[in-house]
Amino acid sequence: MIATALADLANIPEKSDWTPTVYVALLAAVGGQIVALVVMLRTLKVQRQINADQQETQREINQAQQTTQKEISERQLLGNIKSTNRQDWINQLRENIASFISLSAAINYEANRLDNKIRSHGPLPEPLKQMMYKAGEIKNLIILRLNSNEHKHTDLESLLSQLSKIEKTTNEFIEIRDKIFELTKTILKEEWNRVKKGE
């Protein structure tokens, strides 16, 4: 367009009265093109900045989402590990309590069959000693699973120690055994509730 205007300008006679008008038109055309070019360059610069800002914002959003997802995954994994370990703890405690009570019942039965004189002063029969040793081992496993900072756990430990003593009647044994059962059920229920909550 500018080239055409310059060519037309060359064909204009020198003393024409419309020459200033052509010069003004030419300057307007050139000036308009320069203004359009400046506006276009500024628009491109602003658009590039907007694009860069949008990309940075999107990158920050993506990074925040990845961080959040990672935290959620880590919490879920930790919760699953805790739940699995807690479930194993529940199963082991249940098995150990059942074994300990069964062995203690056999010990109590055998001890009550023995003459009081033999139990108090004489040597214990070897099978009874072996059962007492095994019961002590299981009791120790239970105690190692308990938390000494929790009241119910210390109460359970105390009841286990009471049940370990062989100088008791069958009724005393049953009374202590029933307390152990009830307290163990309460502890196991509390732990199971923690597993369900994912703690």
Express each pLDDT in 19-66 by its tens digit.
Answer: 667 667 777 777 778 877 878 888 888 888 988 888 888 888 888 888
d(CA 124, CA 134): 15
**b/e for 95-104, b at 16 or more Cβ within 10 A?**
ebbebbbebb
In the block, which residue shows the tokens 């060359």?
10
Whether residue 12 is predicted with pLDDT greater than 60 in this model: the reply is no
Structure tokens at 188: 């196991």
Whether residue 101 is predicted with pLDDT greater than 90 in this model: the reply is yes
d(CA 49, CA 99): 74
pLDDT in the model for residue 27? 73
pLDDT averaged over every residue in the chain: 83
Helices in 114-166 by DSSP H: which ranges? 116-121, 126-145, 151-164
Under 8 Å between Cβ of 159 and 184:
no
Under 8 Å between Cβ of 156 and 184:
yes
pLDDT in the model for residue 113? 77
Alpha-carbon Rg for the chain in angstroms: 46
pLDDT in the model for residue 156? 96
d(CA 183, CA 152): 7
Whether residue 114 is predicted with pLDDT greater than 80 in this model: the reply is no
pLDDT in the model for residue 91? 93
Q: What is the pLDDT of residues 144-181, one digit of tens each?
A: 999 999 999 999 999 999 998 877 788 899 999 999 99
**Type and span of the H or E element at 27:** helix 19-113
d(CA 197, CA 61): 31
User: Coil, strand or helix: which one is 166?
Assistant: coil
Whether residue 5 is predicted with pLDDT greater than 60 in this model: the reply is no
Whether residue 135 is predicted with pLDDT greater than 60 in this model: the reply is yes
Whether residue 118 is predicted with pLDDT greater than 60 in this model: the reply is no
Under 8 Å between Cβ of 166 and 138:
no
